[in-house]
Structure 1
Amino acid sequence: MSTAVFSSRSRRSVLRGLGGGALAVAGAGALGACSTRETEDTHSTGAADAGFTITDQRGKNVTFDGPVRRIATTIIPSPSMIAAVDGSYDHVVGINESTLQANKQGVFGTLFPESKKTATIAGADFVPNVETVVGLRPDVVIQWGDKGDEVIAPLENAGFKVIGLTYGTQQQMETWIKIFGRLLGKRKRAADLLDWMHTEDKAVRGLVAPYAKKRQKRVLYLRTAADGWTTATGSDYVTHWTEIAGGTNVAHDVAADAPQVSVEQILAWDPEVVFLSGFDDATPADLYADKKLADVRAVRERRVYKVPLGGYRWDPPCCESPLMWRWAAQVLHPELATRTGLRSRIKDSFDRLYGYDISAAETDRVLHMDLNAKSSGYDGFRA
């Protein structure tokens, strides 16, 4: 480890909706109240039969002559979001290698078995394999809009329509949902999804308010790096869900992007709760066994938790983020176990998002019940 403190059921024939008008529903039961809405996009506002134009997050207008049927994407979280907005995986033809691995490791590959065999068009550097993309014949390619011309120009030079996206905040993620809704002719479904998210934000903040007013729990997020750990700062989405859940990120004010942290700094911060990234293989048991971290409060009190992996990893913004907010709230405030209703909400949400009846055993996998079994308060997630 570095000694430096910082360095630079099956598918449903008809998918139910996500609950339009959900902003008018308050409290912890908001998601359950949305169960009777239809999601089939039959309104003219959702149809993509005629030509349309999308302004991407680069500010570039991209025009389509008709429906988008085949989507290739180098961006890691986008396939699960496309599937949630579409209610199927039918239009995804190319993905990132990291996404393929997540599909094989997590429950998404069970939801959509075809996702475990999807062609890969890019790796960790997001540079597209243009020859592979050509063979897939996509109507559009989704690519990062802020990582330089080297990842977009080869695609545009090959004649592909490219949607450039940026990522990291709730607002940016909501823009993705709107764009995917327009591409897929599912604008109404996308709007319902956003309504659900906004309602859940208010509901979770309401749940934790009595506890957060007294004192916010000090939280540290860790992700393994070649020579130790990195963490998330105030600009990271981790801070967004930490604060919704009634906690405070001890690395909030660090002026670096994904800074490395030393054992000394972790000891100095002495977090009460540690969240372990879903992007690596580190487990709570690893920290509990690390004698160098034995004096860290979260380790002493066995309050180290592996972040869930559902249709996608829950750390970054995704369509399952409202579930992450409730999970983090219960981890920080175990007394909420009977009020967050997380397991039933996972079941309802997977039905709504993916048309899938998730089993109890699959829910255990999502929540990493095995890896988190010896962490304080985690039995609360069995209810």
Structure 2
Amino acid sequence: MIGALALTAGCSTREAQTEDAAATGALSIVDQRGETVALAGPASKVAFTVMPAPSIFAAVDRSYDRIVGINQSTLVANKGGMFATMFPESAESAVVAGNDFVPNVETLLQLDPDVVVQWGDRGPDVTAPIEAAGFPVVGLEYGTQDDLEQWITLFAQIAGKPERGRELVDWQRTELSEMRAQVAEQRTPRPKAMILSRAGDTYSTTSPKGYDGFQFDLVGADLVTEGFVSDAGQVSPEQILDWNPEVIMLSGFDESVPADIYADPRLASVSAVQNKRVYKTPLGGYRWQVPSAESPMMWQWMHQILYPGARGGQFRDEIRATFDNLFAYRISDEEIDQVLRFDLNKDAAGYDQFRR
């Protein structure tokens, strides 16, 4: 909650508040592969081949100072959202992997990180080249809230700030419990909803087996893709018509905007289109739709989209407190509008609840 966040929040526009490392000696970290990773001490240079990780590490550290390499997709998100405003150096970070997560070993050798964070559930093709080059690898797994909490814990260990990791995990769990309690009190029918991506005339969506399934259920929505199986998630307009979602949330990983959906005659009779309930998902420190340090903000945003006015107009204050706590940054009202994609969502049904 806001009060708990404010206890650790800074008070200037960009504070480089740092903590003394909890440990100054050697570290032994067990990653999500079950591998023990030995470090000489808290890392001073960390490279991330995986996309959501740098913003989470920055939230743990309240700084970008240790991050030396990132994924190409992360660089795009940094430049397009708030991250480069909070941490200007993040817009110039070296790229150490692309969308396939194959590491650029030559760049890693130039950067000489103390540790590299890579997916640990995609086989040795993406981890072995890093280890062969002599760098310790912390392997991650993806898909659940528990995975996210383990990422936070691992990054806190890497940074030598275990207490900070516990604070952030406790905050996420508190917000999770409060959201479940709020949804349990809802007396209106659960809206049918979905995540949608668009590339040209082709649509794709997400599986309920992953984090989206968890999030939609958590915030009180029925995810219409239950039981849906498709190559690369591709979905036809006819299938979307059959599902007839009441709310559509557009992916932050492509350039699709609500106007594109409204303009597609193939979707004209979909409930979300007819009632102007198509929304571009927020972009804060990272794209909110995937697991991140900001996930509780995504849960709240989703819940208020589904049930307008559910949190009594406090959301902007909660965003402000969250950015202060996570990133040591005092976000302005104009920047909150940017995070919430007001330029794209301002005319959508119910979006007035987020106005300043």
Shift of 1:314: 0.5
**Change in 2 beyond 3 A, CA 1:33/1:73:** closer
Shift of 1:254: 1.9
2:70 is the counterpart of 1:70: no
**Change in 2 beyond 3 A, CA 1:94/1:354:** same
| Consecutive unaligned residues in structure 1, runs of 5 or more | 1-29
The amino acid of 1:116's aligned partner reads: A
Q: Over the residues paired in the alignment, what is the CA RMSD in angstroms?
A: 1.6
2:11 is the counterpart of 1:36: no
| Consecutive unaligned residues in structure 2, runs of 5 or more | 10-16
Shift of 1:214: 3.7
2:70 is the counterpart of 1:89: no
2:135 is the counterpart of 1:160: yes
Shift of 1:258: 5.0
Q: Deviations over 1:56-97 (max 9, x none)?
A: 111111111222110011101110000000110000000011
2:338 is the counterpart of 1:372: no
Match runs of 1:239-250 below 5 Å: 239-250=213-224
1:352 is aligned, of 322, 325, 333, to 325
| 2:105 aligned partner | 130
Aligned-partner Cα distance in 2 for 1:275–1:32? 30
SS of structure 1 residue aligned to 2:68: strand
1:342 is aligned, of 315, 320, 326, to 315
1:286 is aligned, of 257, 260, 263, to 260
Is this contact kept in 2: 1:31–1:200, CA < 8 A? no
Is this contact kept in 2: 1:48–1:184, CA < 8 A? no
Q: Percent identity?
A: 48
Aligned-partner Cα distance in 2 for 1:259–1:106? 26
The amino acid of 2:108's aligned partner reads: V
SS of structure 2 residue aligned to 1:63: strand
Shift of 1:41: 4.5
Is this contact kept in 2: 1:102–1:312, CA < 8 A? yes
Q: Provide the aligned length of Structure 1 versus Structure 2.
A: 349
2:232 is the counterpart of 1:261: no
Shift of 1:237: 1.2
| 2:12 aligned partner | none
**Change in 2 beyond 3 A, CA 1:207/1:99:** same
Is this contact kept in 1: 2:250–2:256, CA < 8 A? yes
Out of 218-227 and 59-68, give the one that drifted further. Answer: 218-227
1:140 is aligned, of 115, 118, 130, to 115
Aligned-partner Cα distance in 1 for 2:42–2:248? 45
| 2:13 aligned partner | none
Aligned-partner Cα distance in 2 for 1:128–1:260? 28
Is this contact kept in 2: 1:233–1:256, CA < 8 A? no
Is this contact kept in 2: 1:276–1:282, CA < 8 A? yes
1:198 is aligned, of 162, 173, 181, to 173
Match runs of 1:214-225 below 5 Å: 214-225=188-199
TM, length-normalised to structure 1: 0.88
Q: Deviations over 1:25-65 (max 9, x none)?
A: xxxxx3324422489655xxx62311121111111111112
The amino acid of 2:94's aligned partner reads: A
**Change in 2 beyond 3 A, CA 1:225/1:57:** farther
2:83 is the counterpart of 1:108: yes
The amino acid of 1:347's aligned partner reads: R
Aligned-partner Cα distance in 2 for 1:219–1:75? 28
Q: Deviations over 1:315-340 (max 9, x none)?
A: 1100000000000010000131525x
Out of 251-260 and 366-375, give the one that drifted further. Answer: 251-260
SS of structure 2 residue aligned to 1:53: strand
TM, length-normalised to structure 2: 0.94
Out of 249-258 and 108-117, give the one that drifted further. Answer: 249-258
2:178 is the counterpart of 1:207: no
**Change in 2 beyond 3 A, CA 1:170/1:33:** same
Is this contact kept in 2: 1:155–1:162, CA < 8 A? yes
SS of structure 1 residue aligned to 2:70: strand
The amino acid of 1:358's aligned partner reads: I
Is this contact kept in 1: 2:5–2:322, CA < 8 A? no
